[in-house]
Each structure stands twice: as C-alpha cells, then as structure tokens.
Structure 1
C-alpha cells in the first residue's frame, strides 16, 4: 500500500493521526521560491516579491493503510454505446484497466509496498460552458459541416455540475488512496469569451445558482426553436435532420435546459488556466473590432447560411486567414436582413484578460479557494494570465497562458513568459514541477504577434518542450485543447525526461476529466498515475426525466450521437488509465 508524505516537513507516514496539509496559495497568483512568492508587476520585466500567503487544508488522509479509491472512476465502469446505426443509447460497460508505461523507466518489483504519495489532483479541461443564444455563434456552419454544431450544447452547465459532483464524491486518489490536493482547469472553460459564460463557469466551480440562459430568460431564442431543419428541434414537430437519425422529440426540453441549476461547488481548492475560447470571441478572433463587440450584445442572430458560404468561412477560420474577424464582420453585415430578432443583453459582452482575472478574484467566487484561483491583482494590472503555486513541500504547479491574442485558435507564448517559466523552474530546482497549459506541444504553431506587445517574439511548442527539457525537476506537462486523450513521453539529449498528458474534453463524447497522482517509489523511480473519470450522471438516460440530473445524463448521450463526430477521442488504452514511470535519483 502507498504511504503519504506529509507536506508539513514531516517524514513519510502511515497512520491516521497526521493532519495532511497542502501549501496552496489562498491569496494571489504566486511564483514560489525560497519561501517567498513572486508576481509580475505592471511595468516590470522581472518578478517582484509579494507576501507569502497562508496555507489551506487539503482533504484529510484516510486511516492507514491508504487504499485506492476506484469507485466512480473509469477503472470501475465506463458509459458504453448500445445498438447499431442511428441514435445509440448508453449503458454501463466494463472499466478500462490501468496500463504501465515503461517508455521512460523500467518498473521495479515491490514498488507498491515502498512508494510514498507526494500529490494528487484532478484535471478538468475544455468544459466549453456555452451561451447557446449568443449572437456571435457559428451554428450555421453546419450547412457545410455536420460537426460544426453540437446538439448537446444547451446542457453544458448541467453536465459541468455533474462533473463537480463526481469530483466531490471521490474519497481518495484511485491508485494511492491519498487525499486530493486540488483541482485545476486547463482552459476553454467558456465557449465564446462571453461574460455570461464566465459567470456560469465561476459559479459552477465555486458553488451557487446558475440560470443558463440570456436575453429573455423566460423564453429560449436560439437555433433549436428556429424551425431550421438542420438543427435538432426537440420541442417541435419539425422532422429535422437529427430526428431523422433517431433523436427524440422531447416536450419541455428547452424550458428545462434554461431552468435554474444548483451547483454544490468543488469541495477542494481549485485553480484556473486560460484557453483560446476564454481569451477570444469564438476562440479565434482577436479583440478590437467595435462592430463585433456591439453585435455580441445586440438583438440580431444569424440562424442559417448557404453551404458554399459556410465552407468559405470555415476554411478561413482553419487557415487563420481572418485573425481579427474583419471578413466575418463583413459577412454578418451582408446577411443582416436574414437575421432573427432576439432580446439584446449586455451580459453577453466579451471580456478582456484583466476582466477574466478580476472575475476570478471576486469574493463571490472564492468557494474553497484560493482567492483568485491562482490569479492575483498583479496579473490583472500587468495583463498576464500565468502564475505558479506550491502543491506540496516538494511539488510545485506552473500554469501557463498559451493563447495568442493576435488571433487564431492555435497557441504560443511570449519571450517574457518563457523566461519567467525557466526562472521559476530554476529557482525551484529542488521541487518536482508539473506544468499546466491549454494547448499541447503540437498545437502551439501560431506565432502571430501579441497586439499589446508587438515587438515581443512568440515561441512555439518546440521551444516550450526545449525549455522544459532543460530542467530535470519537470515531471509532466498537462494540457487539453485537442479534445482527445493522449500521453506522450519526451526525452532530451542530456538525459532529462518528462510526460505530456493531454486529456479529452468534457463537451465531446466520452466527456472525461482526469485524476493525476505523483508517487515516489523509493527505488530511483517516480510513478505518475492517470485515471479518467466521468460525471456523476447515470449512464442510462430516461427521456421523461428532465431534472438537472436527467439532463446531465442526456448531455452525455447526445454528445455520443453528434452527427459526423470524431471517433477515438478516448485515445488508446495507453492514453487512459496509466502508471507512467520516470527515473529520478
């Protein structure tokens, strides 16, 4: 059985009397070094010291010996499709076994009895909480590409709450039994850089009531009551494209989907990382066009577009040919007369990086803390969205901002952030480091200049890999963005090695999050355990159940049946539940 190393400077222990604590920053985004925090000031390129924050308690460790907790994880069971072609239902299926990855080190016998747990946390990624009635949406691309619209999007809030409920129900880590220290999101928490979505996300995570509707909250005003047959019209007799594939007719669905939802909030501290959909309208357009900003809060919404025009727009988005959205603005103007009247709503306005940070600092969203969820007032003043924090005595976390404000959905980082990253790793060389970002190493190929820092060089994923590879204390780079489970080993010529852990989204099937544990095997190796979890919603759906829980179950099943969706997002068995070995002397 695993033991748990105390993070209060004590030895490894194996008894119930120890109060397990994790040094989590309760006030402010912090770089950690020699007991002092650091945060960038608005006009300084070097870090400036700030006061050390008080600690926050993690969950208490269970009584000795620590026992793995697999209930509610994909080790136990996984939602599995039933039936053949057409609309498929979900049911309980066999779990996914844990696979030992030997790419970077050879496992040694007896490590299960020797190992000491260092840290355990939950990664949530790509929640994509979506204001489906927002005017700045691209549902009409579905006339060309069936995948361009998700029929489950009206239920993102209910699905996210069910994921919070699953995390809260975990009584320990699945491999070591250690208490969970924290949760962290790795970006695309929102879908369209809208203040409505940001408010919903922060409330879901910290606890409270959410009404997932905008405009006229008494009446849904989106594509699903438009009568346009390319969208699922759940309440309507229209024989739409999805009903022809077996989607159900559900009286009262839209009223239920926009009804108030209650979130308990996470019952452990949580941190936030920014993604391109959080940073930019539609996840790809840089800020600055006043027409688009006004359109976002206005009273007109385009519901359909000819397939040829939809293809041209989609091709332009993929090629990053319109990073500031000027051609998109012109398209909207051209089709102004074809738009549907909806209720204007100032709450749909886009938010800036500083507003994103300040929203996290709002006391209404502190929940289990820390205040700011990693971000500080220094971040807001400097316009930065990266920070580091101490996880345990010998583990730090580093959260990066890989979004490119110049536009496009792929990422990069600026020189100042890259230097800060290396300095943080160097100053904490005696601590293991886990790096978090939204983008993966292979999706950081957008080096367009940041409009706020036009002379600063941007660096791609290869540069970040090289930087991480220069520091032996780096154990893992944890990210999302690609909506697919993938675990990749990385090595450097001088012998350093670490794992890149990419996790599937919680918006596309199979809708997953991941528990990650770090353990010292006390034989010259470390083990990183990865275990996937689903939401707490039941696998089986009941079309007559439009309760909050029933809708969360339907959210998962609708995502399975999305037209033309990619298969294989769960990844291979070696990308799911794993033990990842690393050499560490």
Structure 2
C-alpha cells in the first residue's frame, strides 16, 4: 500500500487519539455513543478494551518507546438499528471469531523486491520491522490462544479467518511460514545463505536502518539504535504453537501477484536471481523504476534486466524456495497434512483443485462465504467476476434460513478495478458498488469483513429495509502499526435486534521493547515498536474511536 511520512500535526493528532474525550457524535442523524455500562459487564482482559499501546517520551531524533496505556472505550453504533434497554440481560451469543488480516509474511532477503523505492513512491517497499514479522505473528497467535472467548458473549471462538495478504510477495517459502504460524511448527525465517543475512539491512546503505552497523542511516537520524546480533536473531529458528481453533484463509492481492501490484510473469525470473539490487535515489534508474511501477509495469522487464548486468547490486545466494506460487498452488498448500493444525482439512477450500472461494459454517445458523476479490491485471484494487458473483447469490439464497457473513480482502471502496481479469478471460467484472447492491438484496446478510487498507473502519450499509442492511468491518493490518486483529461476536439480543461486537486485540509481546532481549518474545515486542516509529507510519490507520471497539446494532433479519 502507498505510504507517506506523517506531518508533525498528524503525529500529534495520533498521540492525542488514545486520550480522546469519550462522548457521542451524530452520523447522518444516527447516534454513536460511548457505553461504559455495557463495557462494565464484559471480560475485557487481553483486549484493547483493557489496555492498548501508547507512545512514551521521545528520545533524541524523535523515536518513542511504547508503553501500556489505558484501554479504548466501547461505542454503540446505531445507524442501522436502535439499541434497546436491557439487551445485555437477554442476549445470546451466536458466533465468535477472530479476524487476522494483512500479515504480509515477508522474505526480506528476496531479490524480487524494490526496497529502494520506499522513499520515492511507497513506504511499504521497506519497513524497518519487517525482518521480525514471523515472530510478531506468532505473538499474535499466542494472544488469541490466551483468550477464553468473546468478551461480551463469553462464547469460545468458533474460528479464525485471515482476510488476505497473508504473504508479501507470493513466494512459496512465505506461504510455508504463514501456514506454520497458524497451524504450528518450527519456522526459520531465512532464505539464501544458511549462516548470514543477505538483505538491504546488511548492505551498508543509509537508505535503510542498518541495525548491526554504526553507519548513520536515515533511521538512526530519527532515533533508531544499533543492536548487535539483531539480524542473526531475526533469522534464527523459532516455533509457533499454532492456533487452538480452526482457521480459514482468503486470498489478497499480495498472494495473487508480484508485490501485489505487478502482473505476474513479467519479473518472475527475479525470484531466483543471484544478485539483489540496491539502486540509490540519485541513480536515474530509480526514478524510471518508480514511474514504471505506477503507470507501465511492462517496462520493468527491460529495466531490471539491464540493472542485473550493470548494478548497483550485491551477490546473494539463490534459493528455489522463493519460487512464486499460483493461486491453485495456494489452495493446494492448505491441504498439506503437515499444515492442517486445528483444521479443517483445506482450511475452507472445497478441494485441492477447487475454486479460490468457498462457504464454511462459522457456527450453527451462521454461514461464512469467503470471496476472491483479486484482479491479476497488475492492480492493487480488486473486482469480482460474474461467475463468482452469481455463485455467491446462490449460496445466500440457498441458506436463507441462516445469517450470512461474507469475507474478502478488498473493501467496497477499493473494489474499483472492474477491468478484465486475466484469470477469468472474457468474464465481466463488477466493482464494490455492485457487490454492495447485490448483498443488500438479501435480508440475511449481516456483515462484510475485509482488510487491504491497513486501516480500521466500520461502515453501515443501509438497504431498502432495516432487514436488508449490513455492516462492513474493515480492520488494520498486522504489518504496519497499530498491528491489530479483531474479535467479531454476533449476539441475538432477543428484542428484534442483533449486536455485532468488534473489539480489537494486540499481540501479547511486552509493550516496551528491550533492545537487549533478542528472544522471539523480545523481537515481537521490538516488531511493534519499530513499526510505530517507521518513517512512513500513517497515524490515520488506527481509525477513529468509533472505528475500533464497537457494538454495531442491526435489525435481526430472521425474527
């Protein structure tokens, strides 16, 4: 996703967000209000309702250590239905699950990356914390496993659903690490040479944080410090216990195509190169690459071929595990018995050679529909093909006696790529507006859960009647700060309404990182703190308080 450096004003706004005054606000005539009475009855331990990371004091350069701060309040959102008194005494939990999204498990040493564009067009090209993302992801698994269930319903989690961008660059080894994070097993987050780090953080360029070097890079100017042993610890073997509940996977654009934005087959040979490029911004090629990435990806082939010969480049050890996987291989990998973990077999996909979309039973009476909204034309935004759209309509109709929640990577407003999809030649593509309209024609759809934006947003979609309305639940990533996942609880209030609770959770690593602690838990703590201090941190990703921990009201469509 595009990134930019926050202004001083926006960073101040971000710092103030955690201490924002609890009150009420009007949205289109409907009221969203803080609800301390509802919150008082919940088991908030381990969620951001109890406590959340906040910045401490700044050191030279502006780097801030994180500390444990107060929890964020619960807001009741009533745009689609009115909250009735006494519902907390009569409600019954129908389903509870955890949404993970945009984990971006990354092979940071891969030649098939464009880190040198991070200061030109997209901050996501290089993140100072990215070498620690398997440790951070395992810490998030530990958090989920530590929770007894939904804080409001008390219901044990029925599932975990990850809504895409599970990998960063569709590498086979990234997919293997991702599956082991969720299903359990040993992970060695290293490729290429077995005994050394061969990435840009060890090349000496001042464009990146050089954690083991005294070089004065642009990150150390902002207060990052030298950490001896950091890179060796980052690539060391560690273990995930795996989730203790069934998990399901959805494709994202980074799982679907080269870096999520470049058509496949143009640069696929780069995955197995024996050199890794590091083009300084002063090199005219850097600007040419940035322009091609934005407007003409086909031009990247000749550009990269020339740079492979001329450099600047560093030798790296080729690794066949970096081979890109296809969508079909993504599905098949989920049927690997070694990666089944808590199940189910296939993690939702119907068959090893089946489609990339499917249905699954979240809980009795609550059906999940996993969609594939990726368009492989070389676009980060998405669309949905006619065949899949018609299939979704049939599933919703066939299960009209159940509540339906749909899942995708893209949001309604990032499904704007209604252009021909190479994966479905000749098939008409539909945008997010069309999908919202289709979902609103069915009275049993209650929510659409998605990721992609790396932001927290909760969006009401009002249909022709109260029963034809639903909520869109968009959750921030686990690669960029604030590094969150979301619990989703569906409860029947027994008064003609449903409530969907949306409390956010953080990984269970310590809030304040200790640079001398290079254990997996210590690295997970550092993962979050480095992300907060990234030069490209966007303070808006955390969302408004009313996009975080909420009770979303809607009419019960089956009562």
2:117 maps to which of 141, 161, 165: 141
Question: CA separation of 1:312/1:487 partners in 2, compared to 1, >3 Å: closer, same or farther?
Answer: farther
Q: Which residue of 1 aligns with 2:225?
A: 248
Deviation digits for residues 92-135 of structure 1, max 9, x if unmatched? 10000110001111100000001111000000000000000011
1:569 maps to which of 541, 545, 549: 541
Deviation at 1:311, TM superposition (A): 4.5
1:118 maps to which of 94, 103, 123: 94
Per the alignment, in what secondary structure is the counterpart of residue 68 of structure 2? Answer: strand
> What 5-or-longer segments of structure 1 have no aligned partner?
1-66
Q: Any residues of structure 2 matched to 1:228-377 within 5 Å, and which?
A: 228-289=205-266, 292-306=267-281, 309-318=285-294, 321-322=295-296, 325-336=297-308, 337-338=310-311, 339-377=313-351
Question: CA separation of 1:520/1:504 partners in 2, compared to 1, >3 Å: closer, same or farther?
Answer: same
Q: Aligned partners of 1:173 and 1:186: how far apart in 2?
A: 19
Please say if residues 143 and 310 of structure 1, whose CA atoms lie closer than 8 Å, have aligned partners that are also in contact: no
Q: Which residue of 2 aligns with 1:14?
A: none
Q: Which residue of 1 aligns with 2:388?
A: 417
Deviation at 1:451, TM superposition (A): 2.0
Indicate whether 1:103 and 2:79 are aligned: yes
Indicate whether 1:578 and 2:553 are aligned: no
Q: Aligned partners of 1:505 and 1:193: how far apart in 2?
A: 17
Q: Which residue of 1 aligns with 2:27?
A: none
Q: Aligned partners of 1:98 and 1:537: how far apart in 2?
A: 23
Q: Which residue of 1 aligns with 2:37?
A: none
Q: Which residue of 2 aligns with 1:511?
A: 483
Indicate whether 1:477 and 2:448 are aligned: yes
> What 5-or-longer segments of structure 2 have no aligned partner?
1-40
Please say if residues 292 and 299 of structure 2, whose CA atoms lie closer than 8 Å, have aligned partners that are also in contact: no
Q: Aligned partners of 1:535 and 1:204: how far apart in 2?
A: 13
Indicate whether 1:431 and 2:407 are aligned: no
Question: CA separation of 1:262/1:579 partners in 2, compared to 1, >3 Å: closer, same or farther?
Answer: same
Per the alignment, in what secondary structure is the counterpart of residue 376 of structure 1? Answer: coil
Indicate whether 1:194 and 2:193 are aligned: no
Q: Aligned partners of 1:522 and 1:144: how far apart in 2?
A: 54
Q: Aligned partners of 1:311 and 1:440: how far apart in 2?
A: 31
The alignment covers a number of residue pairs equal to: 510
Q: Aligned partners of 2:290 and 2:374: how far apart in 1?
A: 20
Please say if residues 158 and 548 of structure 1, whose CA atoms lie closer than 8 Å, have aligned partners that are also in contact: yes
Q: Any residues of structure 2 matched to 1:424-573 within 5 Å, and which?
A: 424-495=395-466, 496-573=468-545
Deviation at 1:523, TM superposition (A): 0.5
Deviation at 1:145, TM superposition (A): 4.8
Q: Aligned partners of 2:493 and 2:401: how far apart in 1?
A: 18
Please say if residues 117 and 519 of structure 1, whose CA atoms lie closer than 8 Å, have aligned partners that are also in contact: yes
Q: Any residues of structure 2 matched to 1:78-227 within 5 Å, and which?
A: 78-84=52-58, 86-145=62-121, 147=123, 148-227=125-204
TM-score (norm 2): 0.89
Deviation at 1:294, TM superposition (A): 2.1
Question: CA separation of 1:310/1:104 partners in 2, compared to 1, >3 Å: closer, same or farther?
Answer: farther
Please say if residues 293 and 300 of structure 2, whose CA atoms lie closer than 8 Å, have aligned partners that are also in contact: no
Deviation at 1:309, TM superposition (A): 4.4
Deviation at 1:284, TM superposition (A): 1.5
Deviation at 1:229, TM superposition (A): 0.6
Per the alignment, in what secondary structure is the counterpart of residue 67 of structure 2? Answer: strand
Per the alignment, in what secondary structure is the counterpart of residue 283 of structure 1? Answer: coil
Deviation at 1:317, TM superposition (A): 3.4
Deviation at 1:69, TM superposition (A): 2.8
Per the alignment, in what secondary structure is the counterpart of residue 446 of structure 1? Answer: coil
Q: Aligned partners of 1:230 and 1:164: how far apart in 2?
A: 32
Q: Aligned partners of 2:338 and 2:307: how far apart in 1?
A: 40
RMSD: 1.4
Please say if residues 125 and 187 of structure 1, whose CA atoms lie closer than 8 Å, have aligned partners that are also in contact: yes
Deviation at 1:419, TM superposition (A): 0.2
Deviation digits for residues 218-272 of structure 1, max 9, x if unmatched? 1100000101111000101111111111101000000000000100000011000
